[in-house]
Structure 1
Amino acid sequence: MNVRRLIPTAALAGAVALGATALTACSGAAAGTGGGKDGKVGKVGVTASFYPMAFLAEQIGKDHVKVDSLTKPGVEPHDLEITPRQTGQLGEADVVLYLKGLQPAVDKAVSLSGVKNVVDASTLTELEVHGSSGHDHGAEGHTEGEGEGHEHDHDHGEAGRDPHVWLDPAKYAEIAKGVGAALEKADPDHAADYKKNTDELVGKLAALDTEFKDGLQNTASKTFITTHSAFGYLAERYGLDQEAISGVDPESEPSPARMKDLQGLAKQENVSTVFFETLASDKTARTLAADTGLKTDVLDPLEGITDKSQGADYFEVMRSNLKNLQKALGAK
């Protein structure tokens, strides 16, 4: 994460001889990572807030970037705390890539860092407000059961907008295009490579989108229950109904009224499975499943990859999610 700029004497002398224009053109490359191709110095230092942002930088930047993530594997992103030292290191990055509204500690650190090239993924696609599916299962139950989650929602993004856009491959592709453009600007010498890599990634995301559309087009049920409301964009994209035990914060405790509401919902909507996650506690999901006689399975919000993840990267985990949804919803 701390990429220091070390310019060899020969390169510095050459830059001075070429004048200010050459210095400006080279300003996007972070030094401290060794010599690059064709005698270029170092790589672009990218600091990403958490896994979905780091994945984009790695896929688009490839050999031209050095990517560090503020959220280490196994850490729940919503709970991330950043030290003053980390904030100082953040200011040394060439590019900072984050998603405003998801991690308050990161939002604050970025505002204090003074870094010039900041890419806020929330500005690269349209964020929406999502809750549960909208089924009318009793206003009182939803108000009491989701109160804490809703309060937390308003801490995440303007007017409670849902930040979990990466779980919609189409919206994730929009963000990828913006990240690619930012890297082209930061490192114009390799703009053609960034453009090519972006196009390839967008193509893969389009194929994934098609897999989800085809795989979830004909299902016995459209409603799924999950630990926290991370899957609003995915549900909207593929015509499903998300019902979450908690709000945006996976660690918030649901009220007894909300749990009772979900028990009734499960029977009414022919729900077979309660989904839990890899990075958050599965206690409430398993409790609800036990009380209702339902099965449990994993639906991963992809906020981080660990050895417990059902896949080694974004695409593998998303395809595991698709398979688990198809099984739970009775895909035909």
Structure 2
Amino acid sequence: MSIVASTNVYGSIAAEVAGDHADVTSIIESPEQDPHSFEASARVQLELSRADVVVDNGGGYDDFMGRLLTGTGNDGAVVISAVDVSGLAPDQVAANEHVWYDLDVVRRVASSLADALERLDPPHASDYRSNLERFDASITRLQGEVSTIADDHAGESVMVTEPVPLYLLESAGFVNATPDELSTAVENGNGVPPAVLERALALLEDHSVSLFVYNEQTAGPETTQLRAAAKLAGVPTVGVTETITDGQGYVEWMGSVIRAIGQALS
């Protein structure tokens, strides 16, 4: 079988569940590729035309997937969108579509994948179920690490340059103290209004936040200035990414993010 995922995050999850019984292709694998402005090659269109299962984020993050799949005429593929199976309210997704930073959502995506693969390939149903159980156990371990952070830091404030990691941070009990105009401007690639930047800098300088988290893939003058201010003020600082780096799997990658947060705060 063929599984095509919008990013290597979902490609990794699919590979964990499918094991050796499917070929998994991730369309976006590099931090330099922006899903909001992605332009498909002929290879990508060919992969989608042959896909048995398609996995994407949804919620406006990777809209190119739906357009491309429609263009290929492949109306037989099973489409699993993380937002659709997330159980999150529409207003939550509208505020933050980066649902792969929510471990419960990732668990739901993996379960939906296993269900789909069992229907498409009944002879290997037990393998898919076993793979899902192993993956699910790994997610449970990660949630345990998040709970450990929450035990010591729940209720503390965090500032983020973008909402990318907020689901994870909120599950660890952090309260988002980021000025809305700041994260919106950075996410949209716009300049941060000077008054908003000054307000954010003041929050860092007077230690009103316990943690500063920035998106490594969207560095700009304002985020660089904020990061420098956080370090100067002694505010723990952690960088995150939207896609998996260094050839890791999802569990290893997300585990490294969680541990980086814990170590920064220790």
Please confirm whether the aligned pair reaches a TM-score higher than 0.5, indicating the same fold: yes
Larger fraction in helix: 2
2:70 matched residue in structure 1 = 111
Question: CA-to-partner distance for each residue in 1:276-303, whole Å, 9 max, x for gaps?
Answer: 33333254322123346345743324x2
Question: CA-to-partner distance for each residue in 1:119-170, whole Å, 9 max, x for gaps?
Answer: 222221123445xxxxxxxxxxxxxxxxxxxxxxxxxx6xx25222221222
Superposition deviation, residue 88 in structure 1: 4.7
1-structure distance, mates of 2:100, 2:205: 31
Greater shift, 269-278 or 232-241, is seen at 269-278
With structure 2 as the length reference, what TM-score do the two structures score?
Answer: 0.83
Verify: 1:275 aligned to 2:213, yes or no. yes
2:191 matched residue in structure 1 = 253
What is the one-letter code of the residue matched to 2:96? D
1-structure distance, mates of 2:48, 2:54: 8
Verify: 1:124 aligned to 2:85, yes or no. yes
- Relative distance call for 1:294 and 1:112 in structure 2 (3 A) is farther
Counterpart selection for 1:176 from 110, 121, 139 = 110
- Relative distance call for 1:232 and 1:275 in structure 2 (3 A) is closer
1:305 matched residue in structure 2 = 244
Structure 1 unaligned residues grouped into runs of 5+: 1-43, 131-156
1-structure distance, mates of 2:220, 2:262: 21
2:250 matched residue in structure 1 = 314
Greater C-alpha Rg: 1
2-structure distance, mates of 1:193, 1:220: 39
Do the aligned residues in 2 keep the contact of 1:50 with 1:77 (CA within 8 Å)? no
What is the one-letter code of the residue matched to 1:232? L
1-structure distance, mates of 2:116, 2:239: 31
How many residue pairs are counted as aligned between the two chains? 255
Superposition deviation, residue 253 in structure 1: 3.1
Summarize the alignment of residues 313-332 of structure 1 with structure 2, pairs less than 5 Å apart: 313-328=249-264, 330-331=265-266
2-structure distance, mates of 1:312, 1:104: 25
1-structure distance, mates of 2:115, 2:174: 33
Superposition deviation, residue 198 in structure 1: 0.6
% same residue: 24
Verify: 1:262 aligned to 2:193, yes or no. no
- Relative distance call for 1:172 and 1:274 in structure 2 (3 A) is same
Superposition deviation, residue 208 in structure 1: 0.7
What is the root-mean-square deviation of aligned Cα atoms in Å? 2.7
Do the aligned residues in 1 keep the contact of 2:245 with 2:253 (CA within 8 Å)? no
SS state at 2:83 partner: helix
Superposition deviation, residue 83 in structure 1: 2.9
SS state at 1:73 partner: coil
1:99 matched residue in structure 2 = 57
Do the aligned residues in 2 keep the contact of 1:52 with 1:314 (CA within 8 Å)? yes
Do the aligned residues in 1 keep the contact of 2:7 with 2:243 (CA within 8 Å)? yes
1-structure distance, mates of 2:96, 2:87: 10
Superposition deviation, residue 201 in structure 1: 0.5
Do the aligned residues in 2 keep the contact of 1:221 with 1:270 (CA within 8 Å)? no
Do the aligned residues in 2 keep the contact of 1:297 with 1:324 (CA within 8 Å)? no
Structure 2 unaligned residues grouped into runs of 5+: none
Superposition deviation, residue 191 in structure 1: 1.1
Counterpart selection for 2:36 from 67, 79, 84 = 79
1:67 matched residue in structure 2 = 24
2-structure distance, mates of 1:239, 1:272: 12
Do the aligned residues in 1 keep the contact of 2:153 with 2:174 (CA within 8 Å)? no
SS state at 1:75 partner: coil
- Relative distance call for 1:252 and 1:179 in structure 2 (3 A) is farther
Greater shift, 221-230 or 62-71, is seen at 221-230
The runs of 4+ residues in structure 1 deviating greater than 6 Å are none
- Relative distance call for 1:109 and 1:294 in structure 2 (3 A) is farther
